[in-house]
């Protein structure tokens, strides 16, 4: 296995930004926190050892977000009156949100899937801890389930 040559990776104990939620002989659940502090951006994942096929399964759980930045109608039309500007902004935001949701649903019905992106901000140490936690869990599960 070529991962044994990762001499440059220094795993912290306890690992910064990573929390073990649950651990048993065949599965480990982790949570990786985002540097922004928002729990909607964190990664939850589990590493499972399938005793039947002897395969390692990595399950990732993230909160997916729609493309909230896409707009059909411009929300920031210059209107001198503050109240009309506020009403226009709220109305255009509502319409854009409805169009986004309808487009999302349409893509799901027609294509059977929707493409998303998600991001989690990790500093260098947390990303190394993330990689090493996967590697350590795989090694430990192989050792326990031989």
Q: What is the reported pLDDT for 109?
A: 92
Q: What is the reported pLDDT for 6?
A: 45
HSE-CB at 146 with a 13 A cutoff on CA atoms is 5
Where does the chain have alpha helices with state H? 82-111, 124-144
pLDDT in tens, 59-82: 888 887 777 677 777 777 778 888
How large is the average pLDDT for residues 24-53?
84
pLDDT in tens, 83-131: 988 898 899 889 988 988 898 889 889 998 877 767 778 888 888 888 8
Q: Which two tokens stand for residue 111?
A: 């294509």
In the predicted structure, residue 2 carries a pLDDT above the cut 50: no
In the predicted structure, residue 1 carries a pLDDT above the cut 50: no
How large is the average pLDDT for residues 6-26?
70
How large is the average pLDDT for residues 14-29?
81
Q: Look at the alpha carbons of 5, 119, 134, 13 in this order and tell me if their dihedral is positive or negative.
A: positive
Banded model confidence at residue 142, pLDDT cuts 50, 70, 90: confident
Q: What is the pTM of this model?
A: 0.60
Q: What is the reported pLDDT for 14?
A: 61
Q: Which two tokens stand for residue 144?
A: 């326990």
Report the C-alpha gap between 36 and 115 in whole angstroms: 24
In the predicted structure, residue 13 carries a pLDDT above the cut 70: no
Helix (H), strand (E) at residue 56: strand 55-61
């Amino acid at each position: 296995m070529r991962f044994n040559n990762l001499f440059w990776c220094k795993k912290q104990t306890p690992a910064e930004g990573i929390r073990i939620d649950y651990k048993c002989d065949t599965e480990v659940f982790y949570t990786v926190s985002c540097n922004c502090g928002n729990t909607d951006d964190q990664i939850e994942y589990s590493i499972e050892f399938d005793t039947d096929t002897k395969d390692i399964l990595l399950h990732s759980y993230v909160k997916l977000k729609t493309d909230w930045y896409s707009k059909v109608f411009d929300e920031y039309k210059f209107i001198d009156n503050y109240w009309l500007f506020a009403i226009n902004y709220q109305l255009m935001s509502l319409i854009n949100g409805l169009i986004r949701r309808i487009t999302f649903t349409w893509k799901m019905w027609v294509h059977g899937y929707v493409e998303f992106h998600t991001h989690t901000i990790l500093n260098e140490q947390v990303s190394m801890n993330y990689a090493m936690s996967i590697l350590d869990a795989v090694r430990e599960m192989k050792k326990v389930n031989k």
